[in-house]
Chains A and B, each alone.
Chain A
Amino acid sequence: MANHSTSHPTHVQHHFVDSDQQFDTAKLGMWVFLVNEILFFGGLFCAYIVYRAWYPELFQMAALELNTFWGAVNTVVLIGSSLTVAMAIRSAQKNQMKGLKINLLITIALAVVFMVIKGFEYAHKFELGIFPGDFYTYEGLDHPQANVFFGIYYMLTGVHALHVLIGIGLIFWIYLRARKGEFNSEYYTPVEITGLYWHLVDLIWIFLFPLLYLIE
Chain B
Amino acid sequence: MSEHNHEHHVSTAGQLWAVATALFILTIITVVVAKFISIPPPFDVITAISIALVKAFLVAAFFMNLYWDTKFNTILLFMAVAFFILMISITLLDTMYRNDVVPSF
Contacts and interface: CB of A to CB of B under 8 A. Distances in A.
Question: Is there direct touching of A and B in the complex, by C-beta distance under 8 Å?
Answer: yes
Chain A interface extent, by class: 35 or more
A215 B16 contact: no
A50 B95 contact: yes
Contacts of B31: 68, 72, 214
B3 A199 contact: no
Contact of A82 (B20, B35, B69): B20
A80 B19 CA distance: 11
A54 interface: yes
A28 B52 contact: no
Contact of B101 (A21, A34, A43, A54): A54
Interface string A175-207: 000000000000000000001100110110011
Contacts of A93: 8, 10
Contacts of B56: 203, 206-207
A196 B88 contact: no
A32 interface: yes
Give the 5 A-B CB pairs with smallest separation, nearest first: A210-B48, A214-B34, A42-B84, A38-B80, A83-B20
Q: What DSSP secondary structure best describes chain B's contact surface?
A: helix
A39 B83 contact: yes
Interface of A: 20-21, 23-24, 27-28, 31-32, 34-35, 38-39, 42-43, 45-46, 49-50, 53-54, 56, 68, 72, 75-76, 79-80, 82-83, 85-87, 90, 93-94, 195-196, 199-200, 202-203, 206-207, 209-211, 214-216
A37 to B, nearest CB: 8
Interface residues of B, number: 49
A68 B24 contact: no
Interface of B: 3, 5, 8, 10-11, 13, 16-17, 19-20, 23-24, 27-28, 30-31, 34-35, 41, 44-45, 48-49, 51-52, 55-56, 59-60, 63-64, 69-70, 72-73, 76-77, 79-81, 83-84, 87-88, 91-92, 95-96, 101
Contacts of A83: 16-17, 19-20, 63
B16 A90 contact: yes
A202 B62 CA distance: 13
Contacts of B87: 39, 42-43, 46
